[in-house]
Amino acid sequence: MKCLLLLSTVLIRWLRRRALLQQCMCRLSDWEAVHSLLCTGKNASSLQRDALIKFNEHAHRTNDIFILAAKVIAFTIVRYRRMKVLSFDGSRQPIVLNSKVESNLSLLLEAWKPFAMGFKRRWWDCIALPDDVDSCDEISFRMQIRDLAFASLQLLKEAIFDDECAPLFSLEIYGHIIGMFELNNLDLVVASPVEDYFIYIDDLPLDEKVKLQDKDGQAVIIADRPISPGEEITISYIDEGLPYDERQALLADYGFKCCCPKCKKEQVLR
């Protein structure tokens, strides 16, 4: 019995130390990925800290989706800077390209790659019209959403603007980043002791042909059976067990009408 108690005590202590180590690693990973630019702590300059606080306050007051968009931009800037350092050889001479502008743009596009494939539309174009907004006021509503994004972007630019990454701070790009989150139900996370680090899709029911796995920190979809050329693979954002009308109403919030085989069949039977 004493041996078992001793073993349990040792195991608990080991688990606590492991959790603490993982938490430290999480914080370091988060710092290296985005937090070094978005930190409002003592390490930030007073001007940057004040600007970031204003940005965060605006986001919390209006829409937290702006914080996700800021993380995407910060992640891309940090990745760009790291890749720029690696583009120098041992003699510290830059790899020759046609021009400095071409070099910077090429690296920036490479840094942007993790987000390049996400389906995107401008936020103010794709956001669903709320029930309490009349259709005759739709144009005004969408312009208000655009102005909201513009105000958020200006606050973010005051905090972390980088001349070499200026394309990331255009309203067009910012709007598309927010629209990507609006349409794809994505999140950007850094691991906790019980979570893996990757950009993930929130526990959504998958097409029966595929399953979602985590491979080395990346979300990977594995085919469970042969897939024919041109066959569409889908990931559902809703409970597929709901009645047809309820499913369509929920999907309308993502800006589209589902025409999968199940919905087509149920539509005919209505």
Q: What residues have CB less than 8 Å from 195, skipping those under 6 apart? A: 189
For position 176, what pLDDT does the model report?
96
Tokens linked to 212: 């979602």
Does the predicted TM-score (pTM) go above 0.75? no
For position 208, what pLDDT does the model report?
54
Q: Is 68:152 a contact under the CB 8 Å cutoff?
A: no
For position 34, what pLDDT does the model report?
59
For position 20, what pLDDT does the model report?
45
For position 24, what pLDDT does the model report?
40
> At 223, is the secondary structure helix, strand, or coil?
strand
Distance CA 230, CA 22 (A): 43
pLDDT beneath 70: ranges in the chain: 1-35, 42-44, 88-103, 185-219, 234-235, 237, 254-255
Comparing CA positions, the residue from 10, 126, 18 lying closest to residue 65 is 126
Number of residues that this document lists for the chain? 270
